[in-house]
Amino acid sequence: MAILAFPTCKRSEPAKTASQSSIDLDAIRKRGRLIAVTDFNSTDYFIYKGEPMGFTYELLKSFSDFIGIDLEIIAENNYDRAFDMLKTGEADLLAFGLTAGSVSNQEILFTDPVDETRQVLVQRKPHNWNIMTDDAINSKLIRNTEDLAEKSVYVQEKSPHAERLAEIAKETGFRVNIIPVPYESEKLIKHVSDGEIDYTVCDENVAMVNSTYYPGIDVNTEVSLPQNLAWGVRKENSKDLLAELNRWISVYRNTTSYSLLHAKYFRNSRSNSIVKSDYYSLNTGRVCQYDDLIRQFSANINWDWRLLASLICQESQFKPDVRSIAGAYGLMQIMPVTGRNFNIDITASPENNLKAGILYINWLYSIFDSKIIDSEERLLFVLAAYNAGPGHVLDAMRLAEKNGMDPQKWDGNVAVWLLKKAEPLYYKDSVVKMAISGERSR
């Protein structure tokens, strides 16, 4: 299972405090999910037709499957914010393409390399390039780093690319006008293609993929030697996580699966059609054909529409007529009896199915409004109840309280007891009111 996050979409989980940054692998396993922060772009992590995709995403999913837990993705393109999440414990793993020299001032440990690349200059090809010879094109382009003297090059602030340009200026003795901006590489590449800026620097693998979308850009001028790319963990209390990551990386990078995955994202002719699709969320902001309905109904429960879209993706993968073995139907996987309780035919249309799902969520709020004071915590309880059923969540609250934990806190408290309730020792406890198979969700 993967828990996804859209950039700028408010996360449902409150930020962790610095005291929680001491979690290592055992605690992560007990929590039941690995929390990783990564870029939101066309190679690392993106949403296409409501499905999570990306080279880094699939690597992370393989690792989380390897250690037997779920994966939670935080999408964050700002380097400083991403590092802060790692330091404070909001994230366990920084899944950026990091080079050892690029974050020397950050208190992190690097994994073994997960990939390798080099940095390249992105520039526009000359006018009428498609009818010019290669020699004529090359004569109009920068082909060595010395020719960057006095040129203005836009790069993502705090990125390895900004640091590499500073090194070039030092190595050559020429002044390079480095302009750091709060935009990630792919946006800067588009600005080059559109003629808004002349030059940027980014990783070659990202540049090559983007050159298929923007044929008028050139990405053939290298500005660094090949570099290993790694992920990062905290220096303190991450020894076991780092060891397990390195053990997995050492095996997985030599598999056919890794080679196929790399080809899928960096040498795939379908990439261009994906990027031009209406449901490539990086460009269009759209998730699926039901976006307008989801926006409309999310307002009824005061949710960010993307949170509701994430729930629907998890439930039905946006398939309007899917039916579960238990009989739950449609986008929101509503049981027919629930629809009848609301006087709604859930099979009549996607709109009806959404309407019933929203009414069900409002009903869940009526259960937890008086029980959970904090609104962000309450949201977590409602989401859990939508998935597992309110009776089981209420039982888990009672078990948590009986065993000295906070019945109004989800992570590390009630969530623990919802899992433990599957064990006979606990589902036979006198405070438990709902049998394990006694509730049918939604």
pLDDT tens-digit readout, 311-367: 998 899 899 999 999 899 999 999 999 999 999 999 999 999 999 999 999 999 999
- Give the residue with greater pLDDT, 136 vs 441: 136
Cβ within 8 Å of residue 143, ≥6 positions away: 221
3 by DSSP, 3-state: which? strand
CA-to-CA distance for 206 and 117, rounded, in angstroms? 9
Summarised one tens digit per residue, pLDDT across range 111-124 is 999 999 999 999 99
Q: How confident is the model at residue 32 (pLDDT cuts 50, 70, 90)?
A: confident
Query: What pLDDT is attached to residue 31?
Result: 85
Instruction: Answer positive or negative: Cα dihedral of 263, 155, 283, 288.
Output: positive
The reply to whether domains 2-113+228-284 and 119-224 share a CATH topology is yes
Q: Which of 210, 212, 165 is nearest to 189 (CA)?
A: 210
- Span 85-98, mean pLDDT? 91
Q: With residue 222 as reference, give the H or E element that holds it.
A: strand 217-222
Query: What pLDDT is attached to residue 442?
Result: 66
Pairing between β-strand 199-203 and β-strand 119-124 as defined by DSSP bridges:
antiparallel
Q: How confident is the model at residue 436 (pLDDT cuts 50, 70, 90)?
A: low
Q: How confident is the model at residue 14 (pLDDT cuts 50, 70, 90)?
A: very low
- Alpha-helical segments (H) within 67-159: 79-88, 134-140
The ranges assigned to domains in the chain are 2-113+228-284, 119-224, 291-427
Q: With residue 230 as reference, give the H or E element that holds it.
A: strand 227-234
Q: Provide the percentage of residues in the chain whose pLDDT is more than 90.
A: 62
If phi over 0 gives left and psi between -120 and 50 gives alpha, with beta otherwise, what is residue 379?
Answer: alpha
Tokens standing for residue 279: 């449901």
Give domain 2-113+228-284's CATH superfamily.
Periplasmic binding protein-like II (3.40.190.10)
Query: What pLDDT is attached to residue 200?
Result: 97
271 by DSSP, 3-state: which? helix
Q: Is the pLDDT assigned to residue 105 strictly greater than 50?
A: no
326 in Cβ contact with 344 (< 8 Å): no
Amino acid at 66: F
Q: Is the pLDDT assigned to residue 131 strictly greater than 50?
A: yes
Beta strands in 8-162 (DSSP E): 33-38, 46-48, 51-53, 70-75, 93-98, 108-110, 115-117, 119-124, 152-156
What Å distances lie between residue 396 and 389, 406, 411, CA to CA?
11, 11, 12
DSSP output for 336-390: HHHHHHTT--TTS-HHHHHHHHHHHHHHHHHHHTTT--SHHHHHHHHHHHHHH-H
**In CATH terms, is domain 119-224 a member of 3.40.190.10?**
yes
Q: Which residue has the tokens 């269009």?
A: 284
Q: Which residue has the tokens 């302009």?
A: 179
- Span 251-259, mean pLDDT? 95
Max CA distance (Å), the chain: 83
Q: How confident is the model at residue 266 (pLDDT cuts 50, 70, 90)?
A: confident
Kindly report the average pLDDT of the chain as a whole number.
87
**Residue 255: other Cβ atoms inside 10 A:** 11
DSSP output for 279-343: TBHHHH---STTHHHHHHHHGGGT--HHHHHHHHHHHHTT-TT-B-TT--BTTTTB-HHHHHHTT
Q: Which of 138, 101, 143 is nearest to 121 (CA)?
A: 143
CA-to-CA distance for 8 and 119, rounded, in angstroms? 28
**In CATH terms, is domain 291-427 a member of 3.20.20.150?**
no
